[in-house]
Structure 1
Amino acid sequence: MPDIAIRKSTLCVEEIFHEFGPPPPKPLLRAAAISVIENPYAGRYVEEIAVFMDDLKILGLKMANDLVAALGGDPKNIEAYGKGAIVGAAGELEHGALWHVPGGYAMREVLGGAKAIVPSAKKVGGVGARLDVPITHIDASYVRGHFDAMEVGVPDGPRASELAFVLVMTTGGRVHDRVGGLRVEDVKGEDGLR
């Protein structure tokens, strides 16, 4: 089973005060954690890769805890999340899919059993590639005001033989959301949808 070789980690926090309208009562916080690791499968086809997901669970939990800390330290402050992966050019898209379980379940665990599926994006890209990570409400995917994305990347990665795994959390929906749909106060949180 491969070990995780981390080259670098980044943590980015955005504080959004307004979107041309009146300032909200408190700024929206969005944060992204990125870990750039060696891809143990780069440059070759390997049939059985799923075992690496077990190794990645610890990384997922660390990144999820780092995000909660960066957003105030209380998991109850988190309203939305997303995940993603950028695969270096010597890897294949399926290597990014290894992040689905360890990244998604880590956030759901740290947030106390969030109900909604964690949206995801992945791609193969070169050094400096950017990724728009989709974001939805943690308990109800139909909360339209929380449909969002956060652009992420690292200037010097991923290198061809690396993977950049990403987790994103926010403290709310879009500032000034006003296009209708399910409201946060109406969430039942039973099925991950409503």
Structure 2
Amino acid sequence: MTDVVVRKFLIRIEEIFHEGGPVSANPPRRGTIMAVVKNPYAGRYVEDITGFMEDLKPLGLEMSTRLLNALGGDKSVIEGYGKGAIVGEGGELEHGALWHMPGGHAMRALLGDVKAIVPSAKKVGGLGANIDIPITHIHASYVRSHFDAIEVNVPDAPRADEIVLILSMTTGSRVHARVGGLAVSDIKGEDGLR
């Protein structure tokens, strides 16, 4: 068991009224929580790193809960989600992959009977590195109105021996979504895709 050492959390909430078109009667909100954590594998190659996934599970649940609360606390309004990680230069891309299960499963457990896989992005980067967190609908990944991405960064992270772990949730589609495709009202909920 490895201690999960958090240096800080950063939460950002966006409320989008319009993007040049009419003002939305129900502006979607997009929220992101980031945790800057110490990378226990920085600076060295370790063959078996999977134990750290288990250690990250409580953090995944804490971050999911904090983010949901920042978005008002009502899980029934959450329509989209995504996750990601930025690994500091002393680490490797595989260290960011450790977040797949703890981050994704935590959001899915908190939100209840969701069907779609939580999309993900990861990279190795330096201080202030940006990453685009992909977003899809929580029940059907093919809902085109919810294809989105949220660009995030932490100005002073990740340091070489850190990882920035990221979760995102949204309360709706893109503010002026109008390019067709599978509509929310047509979700079958059978396979997480449609």
TM range (shorter): over 0.9
Note the C-alpha offset of 1:63.
Answer: 0.7
Equivalents in 2 of 1:162, 1:88: separation in Å? 5
1:193 corresponds in structure 2 to 193
Is 1:24–2:24 an aligned residue pair?
Answer: yes
2:33 corresponds in structure 1 to 33
> For 1:116-152, what per-residue CA distance to the aligned partner results, in whole angstroms no more than 9, with x for missing partners?
0000000000011010000000000000000000001
Residue type of the alignment partner of 2:22: P
Secondary structure of the equivalent of 2:131?
Answer: strand
Equivalents in 1 of 2:61, 2:189: separation in Å? 23
Runs of at least 5 residues in structure 2 that lack an aligned partner in the other structure? none
1:67 corresponds in structure 2 to 67
1:102 corresponds in structure 2 to 102
2:92 corresponds in structure 1 to 92
TM-score between the two structures when normalised by the length of structure 2: 0.99
Secondary structure of the equivalent of 2:136?
Answer: strand
2:184 corresponds in structure 1 to 184
2:160 corresponds in structure 1 to 160
Paired residues in the alignment total 194
Residue type of the alignment partner of 1:150: I
Note the C-alpha offset of 1:71.
Answer: 1.1
1:141 corresponds in structure 2 to 141
Structure 1 stretches of 4+ moved >3 Å = none
2:115 corresponds in structure 1 to 115
Equivalents in 1 of 2:103, 2:13: separation in Å? 19
Equivalents in 1 of 2:109, 2:123: separation in Å? 26
> For 1:33-88, what per-residue CA distance to the aligned partner results, in whole angstroms no more than 9, with x for missing partners?
00000000000000000000011000000111111111111101100000000000
Is 1:51–2:51 an aligned residue pair?
Answer: yes
Residue type of the alignment partner of 2:138: I
Secondary structure of the equivalent of 2:56?
Answer: helix
Is 1:128–2:123 an aligned residue pair?
Answer: no
Equivalents in 2 of 1:130, 1:164: separation in Å? 11
Equivalents in 2 of 1:25, 1:65: separation in Å? 27
Secondary structure of the equivalent of 2:167?
Answer: strand
Residue type of the alignment partner of 2:67: L
Secondary structure of the equivalent of 2:23?
Answer: coil
Note the C-alpha offset of 1:113.
Answer: 2.7
TM-score between the two structures when normalised by the length of structure 1: 0.99
